Structure 1
Amino acid sequence: MNRKFWIIALISFINSLSFTILIPVLYLYGRQFKLDDSQTSLLFAIYAFAQFFATPIIGKLSDRFGRKPLLIVSLAGTVIANLMAGTAASAAVLFFARFLDGITGGNASVAQAVISDVTTPENRAKAFGINGAAFGLGFILGPAISLIAQKVALNTPLGKSFGASFLVSGTIAAIALLLTIFFLPETLKIKAQKSQNFFDLGLDKLITGLYMPKIGILLVINFLTGLTFNMFTFAFQPYFLQVIKQNSDTLTLMFLMFGVLGVIMQTLGISLMLKRLQIVQILFLGLLIRSVSFALMPIWENVYYFVVVCILFSLLNSVVQPMISALISLNSSPEEQGTVLGINSSYLSISNGFGPVIAGFVVNQNNPHSYGYPLYLAGICTFLVLIFAFLKRQSYAVKSS
């Protein structure tokens, strides 16, 4: 791996840190504004729906004008949006801030395009694994920083407000922005031809991408895996807090565990697995463990049992997204990396929107046990996605080198 890769990996880590700081508090922050579960699910969804439309535009523009300027715009949007959210005086401002963050989103897909620019095909899966590990490392530190921010805020005018985590998130995103401006060189060697139509920004690719050979089926698989995973992510926090009677401190420790195991798997784990397994085989194994774990989680409402199942889940869950990204990158031409990875991130974003909405309408906050229903549903649906991916494997599989 060359110097440019490690620079973008560092930026990805800091960016992921900014993102993961918000994971433990978004649900609780929504409830602070008196939002019910359905309304809080929309708080998750508005970010994702905005990102769905914005990401392919940012991806295509990065193919035209370069990776660096689009990464700067995207990170700047995150900084502004999180500072707005952290100081929001009403739910309306909070919703607008999440929309702004989504509409300027896309930095993950641009970072993936940079990785594609600076790595060889034989190192692509390993590189995406390391990049995934950077996100996992953010998962370790982000929740801990979020908890510290909340404790410190108690002695400030913010008081007992989860908005402090958003302010810290915006500050950290600003560090990633400065690193991008001053240290990341442009990595795009061959720029895509500029369209004669100024408004041709790639939204049509959201549809035509589904018909791309090899790519289309991977977009469908990515959407479905994201949909089922986000049913889990929305239900996980209220299930952990209300059903098995834990608090925000132990919730933070759970996210720390997810992050530690994820980093181990995405660095050492993926490298070892690639020596024996093909990329698609690793993907199938990850989906299998994910589906079984989801279905097992709500069977027994006991914290020790739940932690054991979550350990099983963490060990293989973190390989799913890097393998899908690697397959999409390896099946794309060099000049289309930004566009295709942007479309991929866009479909992942829309799944991030639908997943919480489905979970939000399945649960009933007057019946805490219903928070287990989305976990069962996610497990069944993930297993169906595994079957679908297995049956279609000949249309997208590539051999590991």
Structure 2
Amino acid sequence: MKEKKKLDLAALSSIPLIMTLANSMLIPILPLMQRELNISDLQTSLIITVYAAVSIVCIPIAGYLSDRFGRKRIIVISLIIVAVGGLISGLAAWLMKEHGSYYVILLGRFIQGIGAAGAFPIVLPLVGDMFDSKEEVSKGLGMVETSNTFGKVLSPVLGSSLALVFWFLPLAVIPFISILSILAVLFFVKTPGSSDSTAEEESNTENRFRSFIHNTALLLAEKGHWLYAIFSIGCLAMFIMFGFLYYLSSVLEHHYHIDGIKKGLLLAIPLSAICISSYITGKIVGENKLRMKVFSVIGLFVLTAAMLTCGIANTKSMWFLISLMFVSGGGIGLVLPSLDALITEGIEKKQRGTITSLYSSARFIGVALGPLIASVMLKNEAWLFYLFAGSALLCSILALFTIKPTSSSKVPSRKTSQKKGAVE
């Protein structure tokens, strides 16, 4: 990987890191926010859910715009929107009182979600645009996914630490960290000419909206048998991850009376498993499509077993519970980089932004539903884990029977992959 490309990739990797901090930093302090704002469990979960829910709608639009007007331009505008939303939420939490503050915080989170739709989801196709070597694309995606999961590891510790100063500080720092990412993208990311220039040249022809809808429908009709499966797996994996994080945060505070930095460190344990596993997976899968499928299936079976054990066993044994969550995180870390590589390599460059954005939308559905469902089922925790186990088992079946690598062991060359795709 060339040195200047490493700087590009480092700048792009700051985006999933910061987008993750903007959301996951709040998970360990949700019980504290609930007390400060005097709101219910359901209202508390909406602070996470509204951010993800609006992204679900906006991500495909952002993907289309990135294909047409250029990925870097859309990313920078989106990060500015994230900063504005964070500023609104931070000022509301600081200057307003309880319920009035809560609704303005939700407005700020809504705006942040719009910005998030055009940030991290656009990074995936841009990494695919930047490299000609499939192995470099796979490693780049692994680094991006690792940055995403490292943000999740850092988030509970950082969020808990900031809340010790002022409870609303995790909300208030989001504009500042967004500015850092904006500067990194502006100064270090040099988009490949084929991505932005092609988008400019085609803006008056095949990338018009009707043609976009038609071409996307044709692509989904041709490749939908495996694309829909990957969308579903990404959605359910994020549903399980954010659901069990919300559950663990609540149990640590309400049952064990653990809060602050100690709670953040305990939440970071399962998240570190995702980070380490994602990094290793990104390095190992390389160009090998069969390996991507095998890692996905193994990770999902591991996740199923861990969630089923949580449902059957006594999850009030803290270290046993955290150990199972660590195993679950390892399973998820095997899955996510493999899915990123499969979906990025299987789609032609000019439609990559649109399809990866649909995939990111599916993941955000899981992010939105996880805390919401977990908050409703907190008093029926065994059934909550059975739901997680069933979802993971469904994903493993989908991965096993719908992802069918072609006969060669490696992803085809760029020219071939544009005609046929990385998966059949």
Q: TM-score, structure 1 length as denominator?
A: 0.86
Classify 1:237/1:184 alpha carbon distance in 2 versus 1 (closer, same or farther; 3 Å).
same
Structure-1 residue corresponding to 2:332? 317
Q: Is 1:44 equivalent to 2:85 in the alignment?
A: no
Structure-2 residue corresponding to 1:351? 366
Residue pair 2:86, 2:174 contacting (<8 A) in 1 also: yes
Q: CA deviation at 1:216?
A: 3.1
Residue pair 1:209, 1:216 contacting (<8 A) in 2 also: no
What letter is aligned with 2:295?
I
- Taking the aligned partners of 1:325 and 1:248, their CA distance within structure 2 comes to 34
Q: Which of 214, 222, 236 does residue 234 from structure 2 map onto?
A: 222
Classify 1:40/1:338 alpha carbon distance in 2 versus 1 (closer, same or farther; 3 Å).
same
Structure-2 residue corresponding to 1:284? 297
Q: Which of 182, 193, 197 does residue 187 from structure 2 map onto?
A: 182
Residue pair 1:67, 1:188 contacting (<8 A) in 2 also: no
Q: CA deviation at 1:77?
A: 1.4
- Taking the aligned partners of 2:395 and 2:410, their CA distance within structure 1 comes to 22
Query: C-alpha offsets along residues 163-189 of structure 1, whole Å, 9 cap, x if unaligned?
Result: 111112321111101212222222351
Residue pair 2:86, 2:175 contacting (<8 A) in 1 also: yes
- Taking the aligned partners of 1:133 and 1:7, their CA distance within structure 2 comes to 14
Larger mean Cα displacement after TM superposition, 11-20 or 138-147: 11-20
Q: Is 1:327 equivalent to 2:331 in the alignment?
A: no
Q: How does 1:54-93 map to 2 (within 5 A)?
A: 54-88=58-92, 89=96, 90-93=101-104
Larger mean Cα displacement after TM superposition, 298-307 or 259-268: 259-268
Q: CA deviation at 1:56?
A: 0.9
Q: Is 1:114 equivalent to 2:111 in the alignment?
A: no
Structure-2 residue corresponding to 1:152? 165
Q: Which of 252, 257, 268 does residue 256 from structure 1 map onto?
A: 268
Identity of aligned residues (%): 21
Residue pair 2:238, 2:367 contacting (<8 A) in 1 also: yes
What secondary structure is seen at the aligned counterpart in 2 of 1:394? coil
Query: C-alpha offsets along residues 292-331 of structure 1, whole Å, 9 cap, x if unaligned?
Result: 2222235221112112222222323222222111111111
Residue pair 1:59, 1:339 contacting (<8 A) in 2 also: yes
Unmatched 5+ residue regions in structure 2?
A: 412-424
Classify 1:26/1:114 alpha carbon distance in 2 versus 1 (closer, same or farther; 3 Å).
farther
Q: Is 1:387 equivalent to 2:397 in the alignment?
A: yes
Residue pair 1:129, 1:270 contacting (<8 A) in 2 also: yes
Residue pair 2:231, 2:359 contacting (<8 A) in 1 also: yes
Structure-2 residue corresponding to 1:170? 175
Residue pair 1:117, 1:188 contacting (<8 A) in 2 also: no
- Taking the aligned partners of 2:218 and 2:260, their CA distance within structure 1 comes to 44
Structure-2 residue corresponding to 1:194? 203
Classify 1:378/1:198 alpha carbon distance in 2 versus 1 (closer, same or farther; 3 Å).
same
Q: CA deviation at 1:75?
A: 0.8
Q: CA deviation at 1:13?
A: 3.4
Q: Which of 209, 221, 231 does residue 211 from structure 1 map onto?
A: 221
Q: Is 1:241 equivalent to 2:256 in the alignment?
A: no
Classify 1:121/1:51 alpha carbon distance in 2 versus 1 (closer, same or farther; 3 Å).
same
Q: CA deviation at 1:97?
A: 1.1
Which of the pair is proportionally richer in helix?
A: 2
Classify 1:185/1:135 alpha carbon distance in 2 versus 1 (closer, same or farther; 3 Å).
same
Q: TM-score, structure 2 length as denominator?
A: 0.81
Q: CA deviation at 1:93?
A: 0.4
Q: Which of 303, 313, 330 does residue 318 from structure 2 map onto?
A: 303
Q: CA deviation at 1:252?
A: 0.4
Classify 1:188/1:379 alpha carbon distance in 2 versus 1 (closer, same or farther; 3 Å).
farther
Classify 1:224/1:314 alpha carbon distance in 2 versus 1 (closer, same or farther; 3 Å).
closer
What letter is aligned with 1:186?
T
- Taking the aligned partners of 1:285 and 1:247, their CA distance within structure 2 comes to 34
Structure-2 residue corresponding to 1:158? none
What letter is aligned with 1:285?
I
Residue pair 1:283, 1:324 contacting (<8 A) in 2 also: yes
What secondary structure is seen at the aligned counterpart in 1 of 2:39? coil
- Taking the aligned partners of 2:401 and 2:238, their CA distance within structure 1 comes to 19
- Taking the aligned partners of 1:234 and 1:202, their CA distance within structure 2 comes to 38
What letter is aligned with 1:43?
I
Q: CA deviation at 1:91?
A: 1.4
What secondary structure is seen at the aligned counterpart in 2 of 1:35? coil
Higher relative contact order (Cα pairs below 8 Å, separated by 6+ residues): 1
Residue pair 1:327, 1:396 contacting (<8 A) in 2 also: no
